[in-house]
Amino acid sequence: MAYFDSKDRTVFSPQSEKLEPFYKILEQYHQAIGGSNLFDDLVETYEYLDFVLKEKKEEFNNEPTAKN
């Protein structure tokens, strides 16, 4: 699992490929804005979206299949 360290936190690569562009932007700009309130808010939003998408994927995978 890829990750990068910013000023006061570690940001891990997403578990959902849909968030890969968001991760790349965070990685690109962490040296310039890392540690700022803006960056912290962006990372928290990114981590929340990754969690929600992971939960949705697990929910979808655990649904019973209909038998006809």
pLDDT one-digit tens code per residue, 1-15: 799 998 888 999 999
The dihedrals phi and psi of 35, each to the nearest 5 degrees, come to: 90, -15
Low-confidence ranges of the chain (pLDDT < 50): none
What SS3 class is residue 55?
Answer: helix
55's CB contacts (< 8 A; 6+ apart) are: none
Predicted confidence at residue 19, as pLDDT, reads 96
- Domain ranges in the chain are 17-61
Predicted confidence at residue 66, as pLDDT, reads 62
Q: What H or E segment, with its residue span, contains residue 12?
A: strand 10-12
Predicted confidence at residue 6, as pLDDT, reads 87
Bridge partners of residue 57, in order along the sequence: none
Predicted confidence at residue 46, as pLDDT, reads 97
CA 11 to chain centre: 8
